[in-house]
Amino acid sequence: MNYLEALSKRYSVKKFNSEIIPQETLQNILQSGKLAASSLGLQPYKILVVESEEMKKKLIPAFYNPSQVSTCSHLIVIISKRSINENYINGYFNHISEVRNVTVESLDPFKNNIHHHINEKNDEEIFNWAEKQSYIVLANLMYAAAIENIDTCPMEGFRQDVIEEILNIDPEAEKVTVTLALGYRSGEDSFQHMKKVRKPDDKLFKFI
Ligand SMILES: Cc1cc2nc3c(=O)[nH]c(=O)nc-3n(C[C@H](O)[C@H](O)[C@H](O)COP(=O)(O)O)c2cc1C
């Protein structure tokens, strides 16, 4: 499918038909989240994939509108880090060193650069920065799903404390930023017939 066709066909599904996405398709979509760009490559997030019916059921009370969670195939939960410590940065550099087969020392200029960027931010700024990275993952997942003919609904409409308690998230260290329900649209979901509402080009784009 052409990417503009896929994106035009995509809409935020309110009700899925409860069919389960094949594993291979799910894996392809998840890899697109893995391949998301992130500032300094630090990937300051974690991606939970809720596949068990039991956990999906448990999560229903966390959502203001439960119709997506109760009918989706999978629910992806993107969790942002609230801080970046020395251990995390060291882990990142050990990983680069392994993957690219270079010494950790040869990466010192990049490491100093990262320390500089991280140290000049306070915890709130680090957290705001981390959350922005999470939305890039969200966009990649939604885009890949559309290409794979899988429907989605991005959702921020959840009770923060409830979802974090159910998922056993330490709110001091992490935050559930956004979730993405995946599945197949239900024939009963009237939203699929609605025209897209977007700003006209001349209000959205400015060529300079
Ligand atoms: C970050 C984000 C959070 C959203 N949260 C919700 C939500 O909690 N519930 C919902 O039904 N739709 C949610 N939406 C969907 C938007 O309402 C929708 O994208 C917008 O109205 C445009 O419609 P479309 O996606 O169908 O083209 C969210 C979208 C984004 C990008």
| 40 φ/ψ sector (left φ>0, alpha ψ -120 to 50, else beta) | left
CB of 70 within 6 A of ligand 1: the answer is no
pLDDT at 99: 98
Is the pLDDT confidence value at 1 over 90?
Answer: no
Looking at ligand 1, which residue's alpha carbon is closest to its atom 26?
A: 11
Kindly state if the Cβ of 178 falls inside 6 Å of ligand 1. yes
Write out the E strands in the chain.
45-50, 74-81, 151-155, 174-183
* Ligand 1 binding pocket includes 156 (Cβ within 6 Å): yes
- How far from each other are the two terminal CA atoms of the chain, in whole angstroms? 32
57 CA to centre of ligand 1 in angstroms? 22
| Domains detected in the chain | 3-85+122-204 (3.40.109.10)
pLDDT tens by residue, 116-159? 999 999 999 999 999 999 999 999 999 999 999 999 999 999 99
Distance, CA of 177 to CA of 129 (rounded, Å)? 12
12 lines ligand 1 (CB under 6 A): yes
Cα 12 to averaged position of ligand 1 atoms, centre (Å)? 6
Dihedral angle computed from the Cα positions of residues 141, 146, 150 and 156, in that order, rounded to the nearest 10 degrees:
50
Q: Are 130 and 81 in contact (CB under 8 A)?
A: yes
Model confidence pLDDT, tens digit, residues 65-92: 999 999 999 999 999 999 999 999 999 9
Closest residue by CA, ligand 1 atom 20: 12
Residue that has been written with the tokens 């956990």 in this structure: 55
